[in-house]
Structure 1
Amino acid sequence: MDSNISYGDDYKFIPATSIASGTGMEVLPGIYYHTIQIVNICLVGEPGSNEFVLIDAGMPHSADKITSVIEERFGADSRPRAIILTHGHFDHVGGIVELVNKWKVPVYAHSLEIPFLTGTESYPDPDTSVEGGMISKMSAMFPTDPINLAGNVKELPSDGTIPHMPGFRWIHTPGHSPGHVSLFRDKDGALIAGDAFVTVKQEYLYKVLTQEQEISGPPRYLTTDWVAAKESVKKLAELNPKVAVTGHGLPMSGDLLTSSLNVLVKDFEQIAIPGYGKYVDKPKQ
């Protein structure tokens, strides 16, 4: 194992799961998502080929599961050409150290997310006081220390292209984290939204467990800039996506996606922004 790369000191297994854990589906040809506990990973590329990428890296201690999902779809000993991160929160980088050590592939993220991925800067503490349900209260246990991928992580190209993802472009969608990005393909309206918005009320334990579908803003307990978060949702709605895979919850498509996104933009203050919380009035810069 490369001793230069490591997780933060607070890295640990998080005992949270949903009924969707272990399931996945192809939402469009060549776009497959899979749920690991309470978060989704995405695989973009044709089954059986060696031209594919992994988007996000799951919950802590999920590397073996991610490997098995990939080998089932692409064949034994398959490895992606790269790992693309929507952002670096613990539930999106949980298996990445083992995966980078195993595959020796580059990781790409927005320049503003690099400090959290190179051991330089910790994320702000989760807001356990924020309006919301049991997951918000549990968030004190969520890891926030930076992981260190050293020279294995690179900045996404400044021209908006995404390595090994022809036809896709990345869009800066901050708010949930400073360097959060969403990935969009113009030709068919495919959107990989990360946590810019989600399709489950991620704060509420019952809804997380049952995956009750309901469009929502980014998870409240880790969102530190609600002004930016609203602008990001507005930017994504204006793209008029046809299918959206989000970091949490089931994919959404068609008229339901369009109408739900429009409602989320129009009523963002009521739907997404919590009534109280330490980042509501004083965003962390």
Structure 2
Amino acid sequence: MDVIEVRPRLLMLRFPIGQAYVWADGDDDLTLIDAGWTGGAPLIGEAIRSRGLRPEGLRRIVLTHAHGDHVGAAGELAARYGAEVVAHALDAPVVRGEAPVPDPVLLDWEVPLYEKARTVPVAPPTRVDREVADGDDLGFGDGARVVHTPGHTDGSIAVHLPRHGVLFTGDTVASVGQVTLGVFHVDRPRAAASMRRLAALAPETVCCGHGDPVTDGAAAALREAAERDAAVGAVRP
């Protein structure tokens, strides 16, 4: 696992497919945004410790949506460290295993990519301690807020830290080569509309579920991507 410092207080943990992020409000107040792969809890704990932080300080795990490469290790980490698991109310039943993972509506060029993505281990049913909705305060990052971004899944969310100019987009937005609309959406036009909403936030740092964080010209890159891709929601990255 690669551990990358995006900016002070913010780490990215890169998995073979996808990534998770750690935000530190202090040694004993850490937040994990998404949880990587099933079985990855020991690696995540080691990664946090390698940067001088204590995994025992993990207070909350915020899931941007219910896919396996984002839910993965959440249950094991919560059990180890007593962290609260947070998800949008519409995706919480999927996280808990009470509802199936919804199938995306694939464009032709997405089909081979989707077959590769299916190699990610299936996430086990995972408890959700707090169900959230649009605008909710998440209790970290000096006022982190939920931004409901339906389209990738019905309960997809972004996490916005307005006082720090940081935006975690989940899989609504990708930054593989360039900032663009993500892939594998259950409702691509709704995902496109969600990306336009995120662009209006004008973040200084954009952290996507796939691809490199954008720290230079992030607001302009996200706005240009929304104008280029989101209008029709069907442009190949």
Q: Per the shorter chain, which TM-score range?
A: 0.7 to 0.9
Q: Which moved more, 1:238-247 or 1:125-134?
A: 125-134
Alignment of 1:61-210 (within 5 A): 61-75=39-53, 78-126=56-104, 130-132=108-110, 134-141=112-119, 147-150=124-127, 152-156=128-132, 159-200=135-176
Alpha-carbon distance, 1:258 to partner: 3.0
Counterpart residue number, 2:17: 38
Judge conservation of contact 2:229–2:235 (CA < 8 Å) in 1: no
Distance change >3 Å, CA 137–CA 127, structure 1 → 2: farther
Q: What TM-score comes out, normalization by structure 1 length?
A: 0.74
By percentage of residues, which structure has more strand?
2
Alpha-carbon distance, 1:139 to partner: 4.2
Please point out which of 240, 262, 271 is paired with 2:202. Answer: 240
CA distance in structure 2 between the aligned counterparts of 1:251 and 1:109, rounded to whole angstroms: 22
CA distance in structure 2 between the aligned counterparts of 1:248 and 1:69, rounded to whole angstroms: 19
2:179 equivalent to 1:218: no
Q: What TM-score comes out, normalization by structure 2 length?
A: 0.87
What residue ranges of structure 2 are gaps of 5+ in the alignment? none
Higher relative contact order (CA 8 A, sep 6+): 1
CA distance in structure 2 between the aligned counterparts of 1:184 and 1:158, rounded to whole angstroms: 11
Judge conservation of contact 2:181–2:226 (CA < 8 Å) in 1: no
Distance change >3 Å, CA 160–CA 102, structure 1 → 2: same
Judge conservation of contact 1:128–1:138 (CA < 8 Å) in 2: no
Alpha-carbon distance, 1:37 to partner: 1.5
What residue ranges of structure 1 are gaps of 5+ in the alignment? 1-21, 201-212, 276-285
Counterpart residue number, 1:57: 35
Judge conservation of contact 2:86–2:130 (CA < 8 Å) in 1: yes
Judge conservation of contact 1:245–1:251 (CA < 8 Å) in 2: yes
Alpha-carbon distance, 1:64 to partner: 1.4
Look at both structures and tell me which one has the larger radius of gyration over its CA atoms: 1
Q: Which amino acid aligns with 1:195?
A: D
Distance change >3 Å, CA 77–CA 93, structure 1 → 2: closer
Judge conservation of contact 1:198–1:218 (CA < 8 Å) in 2: yes
CA distance in structure 2 between the aligned counterparts of 1:30 and 1:23, rounded to whole angstroms: 17
Percent same amino acid at aligned positions? 26
Counterpart residue number, 1:251: 213
CA distance in structure 1 between the aligned counterparts of 2:10 and 2:147, rounded to whole angstroms: 18
CA RMSD between the two structures = 2.5
Counterpart residue number, 1:209: none
Distance change >3 Å, CA 250–CA 141, structure 1 → 2: closer
CA distance in structure 2 between the aligned counterparts of 1:252 and 1:187, rounded to whole angstroms: 17
Q: Paired residues, what number?
A: 236
